[in-house]
């Protein structure tokens, strides 16, 4: 049983590195990192050149759970925060997660808010 869990962790880390090796956030086009847990969703906007977190949002702050509606709200919040910083383009970092459900809802919300992903 422990060996199976270790194998799942290794596969997940490989998938994360495979996705992130192609992405790089800069000042003009920061990286939007989406993290899913069992109950919540966390979104961070990261400038990899300066090693700064420009904005963040999560479902913890508005006392909601992980759902597509809350993901869309997070995308809108992140888009609003980036537009205040005069940033119109970003790169989506999905990490080890597939691009569907909550991850796609965050991206759609960000696009609706005026970002170009």
Domain boundaries, the chain: 2-112
Closest Cα to residue 86, out of 33, 29, 24, 23?
29
Helix axes 68-84, 102-112, angle to 10 degrees: 40
Q: What is the pLDDT of residues 51-108, one digit of tens each?
A: 999 999 999 987 888 999 999 999 999 999 999 999 999 999 998 998 999 999 999 9
Mean pLDDT of 35-55: 94
Q: pTM, whole model, 2 decimals?
A: 0.87
What percentage of the chain exceeds 90 in pLDDT?
73
Q: Which CATH number is 2-112 given?
A: 3.30.420.100
Instruction: Tell me: pLDDT of 2 over 80.
Output: no
> What is the dihedral sign for C-alpha 96, 108, 90, 39?
negative
Helices (H), the chain: 2-20, 68-84, 102-112
Query: Rounded to whole angstroms, how far apart are CA atoms 60 and 99?
Result: 22
Contacts of 86 (CB under 8 A, 6+ apart): none
Three-state DSSP class for residue 66: coil
């Amino acid at each position: 049983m422990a060996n199976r869990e270790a194998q799942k962790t290794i596969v997940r880390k490989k998938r994360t590195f495979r996705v992130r090796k192609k992405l790089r956030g800069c000042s003009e086009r920061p990286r939007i990192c989406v993290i899913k847990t069992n109950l919540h969703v966390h979104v961070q906007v990261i400038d990899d050149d300066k090693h700064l977190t420009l904005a963040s949002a999560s479902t913890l702050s508005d006392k909601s759970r992980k759902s597509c509606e809350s993901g869309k709200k997070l995308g809108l919040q992140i888009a609003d925060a980036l537009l205040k910083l005069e940033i119109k383009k970003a790169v989506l970092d999905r990490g080890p997660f597939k691009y569907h459900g909550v991850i796609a809802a965050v991206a759609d919300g960000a696009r609706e808010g005026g970002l170009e992903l």
